[in-house]
Amino acid sequence: MPDSVHTARWVRQVAEIGWDLHLYPVYHAWPHLELVDVTVHDGIFRYRPPGLNRSVHLRGIWPYRKWLQPMIWLANHTRLRCDGEKLTKLVRKLRPDFVHSLEFQHSGYMTLEAKEKLGEHFPQWIATNWGSDIYLFGRLKNHEDRIRRLLAACDYYGCECQRDVRLAQDLGLKGEVLPVLPNTGGFDLPHLQGLRQKGPPSGRRLIVLKGYQHWAGRALVGLRAITLCADVLRDYRVAVYSAESDVKIAAELAAHSTGLTIEVIPPCSHDEVLRLYGSARAYIGLSISDAISTSLLEAMVMGAFPIQSCTSCADEWIVDGESGILVPPEDPEPVAAALRRVVADDTLVDRAADINARVVIERLDQALIRPQVIAMYEEVVSKGQRAP
């Protein structure tokens, strides 16, 4: 996904070390501004959005022309799918050492199409599972067959949860399992520390709610839990970010009915979202399916106490009831109970922040993760060169 911050941050880990990196998008969109040192094969446009790093080279058919502006806008707002046939031709042309698909339902399926066309002439394939790619979609009949074919065809499998390793093996994975690492790579911890509010998290008076409400997100459950806790949140501010339209309406109605200060955060930079976490006593993230949830990791880094749905891999990062609380995603009562506990217990909040800070240093520092990613790729290339 060319406009994804997760894509950009993963690519940055192997940028500027002399490798020849190419990105084939799964849909037409402007590349994320954090991308560096990569050639983007867009397929339609080679228009350079303002702020894109000069080390990103765009390979498209159409240069920028004023009369193309409506088409560029349409492509970037409708996410027009790219052509799997063009990916096949690109692989034939570039003959890469390996192909790495980031995510299954778009990237993985397209790569599977190219692999099935090229057969033994296809290079080594690393397939990485994002979010709900197999935890949820592996249980849907319209996806299960393709996921099984994908897992049987890839040479290497990457993911960010031990849970997903087991699921992939149950679904017929034949390839080698790579080290389990966050899909965004490591975090720039010194930079993030500079965005945190000074003092212990128990002194903070902000609750942050992730505003996703869609096929997986359950922000409306979180809002209902907040209204159930209105009596203990009088001195708090509630911030809802990445809110869908129905969540915005529900937030305004909740504020009106309870008298709470509930603010819907307009679109903002990633650093501004991190500052929210760094000012929050608690973070609430609810969905019926997820992997680690990058938001959870960011909350841990920034000292906010995580209240996270139990349908993620959060249990591989926090201890339930000690360094976070796991809750069902569709029942507001347990979420409200967790929030009441977090508001009432300063010791719990501060101790959790200390525990999570140690976990973050040991498992999330980009200075530790980046060398692992580089070594992983080098091993894949080395094995490919040794193969008959």
Residue-wise pLDDT for 17-67, tens only, equals: 999 999 999 988 888 999 999 999 976 666 677 888 999 998 876 555 555
Domain check: are 214 and 101 in the same one?
A: no
pTM as predicted: 0.91
Residue 56: give its domain's CATH number.
3.40.50
Residues 209 and 351 grouped into a single domain: yes
**Interval 198-224 mean pLDDT:** 96
How high is the pLDDT of residue 65?
A: 53
Q: What is the pLDDT of residues 298-335, one digit of tens each?
A: 999 999 999 999 999 999 999 999 999 999 999 999 99
The pLDDT confidence band at residue 71, using thresholds 50, 70 and 90, is low
* pLDDT score for 62: 55
Strands 237-241 and 325-327: unpaired
Q: Are residues 291 and 199 in the same domain?
A: yes
Q: State whether 201 and 156 are in the same domain.
A: no
**Range(s) of the domain holding residue 51:** 5-184+367-386
Is 306 in the same domain as 380? no
Encoded amino acid at 74, one letter: L
pLDDT for 314: 95
- Residues 206 and 171 both lie in one domain: no
Find the mean pLDDT for residues 98-116. Answer: 96
Do β-strands 237-241 and 261-264 pair in parallel, antiparallel, or remain unpaired?
parallel
Higher pLDDT, 144 or 78: 144
Same domain, 26 and 68: yes
Token pair of 295 as six digits: 């938001």
CA 294 to centroid of chain Cα atoms? 5
Phi, psi of 59 (to 5 degrees): -115, 95
- Judgement on whether residues 179 and 275 belong to the same structural domain of the protein: no
Sheet holding 22-23, edge to edge: 22-23, 38-41, 56-59
DSSP 97: S
Structure tokens at 276: 């929210």
pLDDT score for 75: 62
Query: Which residues on neighbouring strands pair with residue 207, listed in sequence order?
Result: 238, 282
Alpha carbon distance 306, 308 (integer Å): 6
Q: What pLDDT does 244 receive?
A: 87
Q: 45, 72 in Cβ contact below 8 A?
A: yes
Exposed / middle / buried, residue 223 (Cβ in 10 Å: 0-12, 13-18, 19+)? buried
**Percentage above 90 pLDDT, the chain:** 82
Q: What mean pLDDT is predicted for residues 70-78? A: 60
* Cα 71 to the center of its chain, rounded Å: 28
As for how many domains the chain has, the answer is: 2
Nearest-angstrom CA–CA distance, 358 and 354: 7
**What is the structure's pLDDT at 199?**
95
107 and 143 co-located in one domain: yes
Contact 192, 226 (CB under 8 A): no
Give the whole-number percent of the chain exceeding pLDDT 70: 93
> Minimal CA–CA distance to 25: which of 98, 94, 70, 76?
76
Residue 310 backbone class (left: φ over 0; alpha: ψ -120 to 50; beta: rest): alpha
What does the longest C-alpha to C-alpha distance in the chain come to?
70
Answer yes or no: do 273 and 164 share one domain. no
Helix (H) or strand (E) holding 208: strand 206-210
DSSP state, residue 365: B
Q: For residues 46 and 288, give the distance between their C-alpha atoms in angstroms, rounded to a whole number.
A: 38
Same domain, 146 and 217: no
| Pairing mode, strands 38-41 and 56-59 | parallel
CATH number, position 253: 3.40.50.2000
pLDDT at residue 82, rounded to an integer = 76
Q: According to the model, what pLDDT value does residue 101 have?
A: 98
User: In angstroms, rounded to a whole number, what is the distance separating the alpha carbons of residues 315 and 239?
Assistant: 25
Mean pLDDT estimate for the chain: 92
| Tokens linked to 188 | 């720039």
Whether residue 151 sits in one domain with residue 234:
no
Residue with tokens 């017929």: 172
- 147-203 pLDDT per residue, tens: 999 999 999 999 999 999 999 999 999 999 999 999 999 999 999 999 999 999 999
Residue 216 has pLDDT above 70, yes or no: yes
What's the pLDDT at 70? 65
Burial 245-272 (b: 16+ CB within 10 A, else e): eebeebbeebbeebebebebbeeeeeee
